[in-house]
């Protein structure tokens, strides 16, 4: 590659990113000559593969891989990572194959390059699905080798640095994706140096004017704030010398995105952001951290409620430090962070600070690697239970975006959970089986509902029962990805089992008029039907019928073609006039009830097969159904009737027209409650000032129960009219 003419010092800094000689000089500081040679060979391979390709800015494409490699080299990443970063786009954008890369640079590099590459040869329905599939691919590759995500983060960082060459709409889309996915991943892995720069670049891309205004305001206020930091630094430095504590003090400026977020979330003007600068004290040991904390609090008055001990209880990404806020000179609040040198390295580079592929620490210290591995194990569990890439991506986002609460198990162990987590989240965090079988929870030794938000310091105890099962309602309030994916997976399997059972019932019912059962169907007929429908076994066919995707009468014609012809034979007519299917009200997820007519036991009903939902039961008089004569011609309708043993609570609607008097709503609600019915919802409409309409959604057991409620409501003198909807 030709050297670029350097015009001034600023250009030199910019162009160093693109020079292979500068990259080799950088990595030679921690690699041997053979490794540097391997990196150079990767550059020659990449330059040849990308020859003639240009980026949107007009630069040769090879500039980008070298810039990505330089970002990783500044974090002292290993030689395989550097080589893979130079080659990370060759599979996607050039004719080079994985086999060729594996032959030239080894299996590890080929795996890393393949993990970072997008799925370009698959057609997707839309951009969102494509994004979900690509991110799923990267995360699963990351779970096997965490260097994949390090390369991807460096790739995204350089792309964000060079967004200026793209159209505004594309800039905003890439920036939004970065904020939703890559910033939280960098935070989760503790790589703050990348996270902070990505956040600032996102703000610059999405809100360029706000970025420029804030940048100008911060630069303008730098002098005054820094003067205060210097005064605190001098006072603290003198006291540290007196106490014979070796320490290094540095000032830290709050990054721009953090300032913007604080102003937006707390609705503060820029002048009220008082922790723009903070003092960071670096010492040699944990013991010195707490000694320095005592000195700081002795010198300056601490602000109550602003002390955080992340050394005793590290953040979920392994970050450790002591944070305290105090009133500095002139009473202006200032923040002080106290940590060891090792903690500071980790705070900047996260998992890259203690490289994953080195031998583990003999002391068994809590490192980023162990925490990252725990999270990645959870990623694999989510992938196994997720239905598709969209659901997987949703679960990952839920897991990435959270603040934390710290609660205790009955044994006194500390559990970290996201903000607004519930006892159900806690149960699944302890063990999947405990989550699946939890029935109640005790918070600080007192029973509490399972949807109660947890707060730091609480002791949580889960009560379980072998007969208990996950409830679909839990999905309305759980916040952890593990709880959500396990509940969905269980319900999905339960629905599949119920669909198979329902499908068998429907087929047996169609076969009964022919004097047959499902077991009597010839094996060759069954195999032909399975082949035609594309199923591998009868369980899949039964599930498909049970979910309403395939009318049972049509399936029976395939299973016993010798008994049922396509014409209107006597046996075909007999199939259509078969006995009604009994509905118990407890069938589960493959039988639902129309929200248009709210059928309840005692009503004349009819069922309609609905794709993906199974049987949907309607009242015979429902306006959304075809006429009775038309239904007989359609295979999607099934004759059903309520079983004598029908049980459960069923929704229905009752509309009242009443005089507009004070206290009438409370009175009607009391009558309904006294009759043993639950009110799901109530809607009110003022008609003419003298009367109003009340629409109650109730839970009743059957038609007789509803009739009792309506008779009691009619006795209220102010009720002018009452009718079931």
User: Could you give the residue numbers annotated as active site?
Assistant: 92-93
Rg (CA), the chain: 34
Last residue of a domain, one of 322, 352, 382: 352
127, exposed or middle or buried, with CB in 10 Å at 0-12, 13-18, 19+? exposed
Tokens of 468: 């208990």
- Residues 285, 233, single domain; the answer is yes
**393 belongs to a structural domain:** no
Structural domain boundaries enclosing 720: 650-724
Reference 106, options 173, 41, 59; nearest CA is 41
d(CA 664, CA 660): 8
- Residues 72, 171, single domain; the answer is yes
Q: 335 has which bridge partners?
A: 278, 325
Reference 474, options 452, 442, 505; nearest CA is 452
Residue 624: other Cβ atoms inside 10 A: 10
- Residues 718, 689, single domain; the answer is yes
**430 belongs to a structural domain:** no
CB 382 within 8 Å of CB 396 = yes
658 half-sphere exposure, CB direction, 13 A CA radius: 24
Q: State residue 471 phi and psi, 5-degree precision.
A: -110, 135
Tokens of 173: 């889309």
For residue 593, the SS3 value is strand
Where would I find the H helices in 386-522? 389-400, 423-430, 432-436, 481-511
**479 belongs to a structural domain:** no
d(CA 345, CA 354): 9
For residue 388, the model assigns a pLDDT of: 53
For residue 44, the model assigns a pLDDT of: 92
d(CA 65, CA 97): 17
User: Which DSSP category does 60 fall into?
Assistant: B
CB 288 within 8 Å of CB 247 = yes
d(CA 276, CA 298): 23
**397 belongs to a structural domain:** no
User: Which DSSP category does 115 fall into?
Assistant: H
Q: 309 has which bridge partners?
A: 322
Q: What is the CATH number of the domain that holds 685?
A: 3.30.70.260
Residue 535: other Cβ atoms inside 10 A: 15
- Residues 217, 205, single domain; the answer is no
d(CA 45, CA 104): 9
- Name the one residue in this structure whose structure tokens are 């599949």: 496
Kindly provide the residue ranges of all beta strands, DSSP E only, lying in 476-594, ordered along the sequence: 581-583, 591-593
- Residues 285, 186, single domain; the answer is no
d(CA 225, CA 221): 7
**370 belongs to a structural domain:** no
d(CA 237, CA 279): 12
- Work out the angle between the directed axes of helices 552-559 and 523-533 (0-180°, nearest 10): 130
Last residue of a domain, one of 352, 371, 395: 352
Per the structure, the count of domains in the chain is 4
Give 607-670 as a DSSP string: EEEETTTEEEEEETT-TTSPPHHHHTT-TTEEEEEE-TT--S-EEEEEEEEEE--TTHHHHHHH
- Residues 269, 289, single domain; the answer is yes
- Residues 537, 635, single domain; the answer is yes
- Residues 572, 684, single domain; the answer is no
Reference 115, options 101, 125, 129; nearest CA is 101
**168 belongs to a structural domain:** yes
Q: What is the CATH number of the domain that holds 108?
A: 1.10.3210.10
- Residues 638, 662, single domain; the answer is no
For residue 193, the model assigns a pLDDT of: 85
- Residues 627, 492, single domain; the answer is yes
d(CA 187, CA 418): 14
**Which residues of the chain are modeled with pLDDT < 70?**
1-18, 118-144, 222-226, 274-275, 316-317, 349-404, 563-579, 586-589, 633, 687-689
- Residues 258, 184, single domain; the answer is no
Reference 88, options 117, 47, 48; nearest CA is 117
Q: What is the CATH number of the domain that holds 246?
A: 3.30.460.10
- pTM of the full structure: 0.55
For residue 672, the SS3 value is helix
Q: Distance from CA of residue 524 to its chain's centroid?
A: 46
For residue 355, the model assigns a pLDDT of: 46
- Residues 64, 29, single domain; the answer is yes
**424 belongs to a structural domain:** no
What burial letters (b/e) apply to 170-192, b meaning 16+ CB within 10 Å? ebbebbebbbbbbbbbbbbbbbb
* DSSP element (H, E) containing 683: strand 678-686
Last residue of a domain, one of 324, 352, 380: 352
Q: Distance from CA of residue 399 to its chain's centroid?
A: 5
**588 belongs to a structural domain:** yes
CB 604 within 8 Å of CB 597 = no
Q: What are the CA-CA distances from residue 553 to residues 249, 557, 648 (Å)? A: 80, 6, 30
Instruction: State the Cα torsion 611-613-615-617 to the nearest 10°.
Output: -110
Residue 310: other Cβ atoms inside 10 A: 17
For residue 317, the SS3 value is coil
């Amino acid at each position: 590659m030709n050297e670029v003419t350097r015009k001034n010092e600023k250009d030199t800094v910019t162009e160093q990113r693109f020079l292979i000689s500068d990259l080799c000089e950088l990595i030679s500081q921690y690699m041997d000559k053979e490794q540097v040679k391997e990196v150079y060979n990767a550059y020659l391979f990449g330059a040849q593969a990308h020859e003639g390709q240009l980026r949107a800015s007009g630069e040769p494409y090879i500039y980008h891989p070298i810039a990505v490699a330089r970002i990783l080299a500044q974090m002292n990443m290993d030689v395989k990572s550097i080589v893979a970063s130079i080659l990370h786009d060759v599979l996607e954008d050039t004719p080079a194959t994985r086999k060729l890369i594996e032959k030239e640079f080894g299996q590890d590099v080929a795996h890393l390059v393949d993990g970072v590459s997008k799925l370009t040869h698959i057609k997707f329905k839309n951009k969102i699905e494509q994004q979900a599939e690509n991110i799923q691919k990267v995360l699963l590759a990351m779970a096997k080798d965490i260097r994949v995500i390090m390369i991807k983060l460096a790739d995204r960082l350089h792309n964000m640095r060079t967004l200026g060459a793209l159209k505004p709409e594309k800039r905003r889309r890439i920036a939004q994706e970065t904020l939703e996915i890559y910033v939280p991943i960098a935070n989760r892995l503790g790589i703050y140096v990348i996270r902070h720069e990505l956040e600032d670049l996102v703000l610059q891309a999405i809100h360029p004017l706000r970025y420029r205004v804030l940048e100008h305001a911060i630069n303008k206020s730098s002098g005054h704030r820094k003067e205060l930091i210097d005064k605190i630094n001098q006072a603290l430095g003198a006291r540290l010398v007196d106490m014979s504590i070796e320490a290094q003090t540095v000032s830290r400026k709050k990054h721009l995105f953090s300032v913007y977020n604080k102003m937006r979330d707390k609705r503060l003007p820029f002048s009220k952001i008082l922790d723009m600068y903070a003092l960071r004290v670096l010492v040699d040991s944990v013991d010195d951290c707490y000694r320095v904390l005592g000195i700081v609090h002795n010198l300056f008055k601490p602000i109550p409620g602003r002390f955080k001990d992340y050394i005793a209880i590290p953040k979920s990404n392994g970050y450790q430090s002591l944070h305290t806020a105090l009133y500095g000179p002139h009473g202006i609040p200032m923040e002080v962070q106290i940590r060891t040198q090792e903690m500071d390295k980790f705070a900047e580079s996260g998992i890259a600070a203690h490289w994953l592929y080195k031998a583990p620490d003999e002391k068994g210290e809590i490192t980023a690697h162990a925490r990252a591995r725990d999270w990645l194990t959870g990623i694999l569990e989510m992938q196994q239970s997720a239905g598709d890439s969209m659901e997987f991506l949703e679960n990952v986002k839920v897991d990435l975006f959270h603040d934390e609460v710290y609660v205790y198990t009955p044994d006194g162990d500390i559990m970290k959970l996201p903000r607004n987590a519930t006892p159900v989240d806690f149960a699944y965090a302890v063990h999947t089986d405990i989550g699946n079988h939890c029935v109640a929870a005790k918070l600080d030794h007192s029973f509490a509902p399972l949807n109660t938000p947890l707060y730091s310091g609480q002791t949580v105890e889960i009560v379980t029962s072998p007969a208990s099962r996950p409830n679909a309602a839990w999905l309305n309030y759980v916040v952890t990805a593990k709880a959500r994916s396990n509940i969905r997976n269980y319900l999905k399997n339960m629905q599949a089992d119920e669909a198979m059972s329902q499908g068998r019932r429907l087929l047996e019912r169609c076969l009964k008029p022919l004097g047959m059962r499902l077991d009597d169907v010839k094996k060759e007929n069954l195999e032909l039907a399975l082949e035609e429908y594309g199923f591998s076994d009868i369980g899949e066919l039964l599930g498909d019928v049970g979910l309403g995707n395939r009318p049972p009468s049509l399936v029976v014609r395939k299973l016993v073609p010798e008994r049922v012809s396509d014409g209107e034979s006597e046996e075909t007519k007999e199939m259509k006039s078969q006995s009604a299917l009994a509905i118990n009200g407890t069938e589960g997820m493959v039988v639902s009830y129309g929200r248009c007519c709210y059928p309840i036991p005692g009503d004349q009903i009819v069922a309609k097969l609905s794709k993906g939902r199974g049987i949907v039961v309607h009242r015979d008089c429902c306006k959304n159904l075809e006429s009775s004569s038309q239904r007989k011609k359609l295979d999607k309708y099934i004759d059903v009737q309520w079983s004598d043993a029908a049980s459960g609570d069923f929704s229905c609607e009752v509309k009242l027209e009443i005089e507009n008097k004070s206290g009438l709503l409370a009175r009607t609600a009391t009558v309904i409650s006294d009759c043993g019915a639950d009110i799901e919802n109530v809607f009110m409409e003022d008609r003419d000032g003298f009367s109003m309409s009340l629409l109650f959604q109730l839970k009743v057991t059957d038609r007789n129960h509803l009739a009792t409620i309506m008779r009691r409501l009619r006795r209220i003198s102010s009720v002018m009219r009452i009718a079931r909807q």
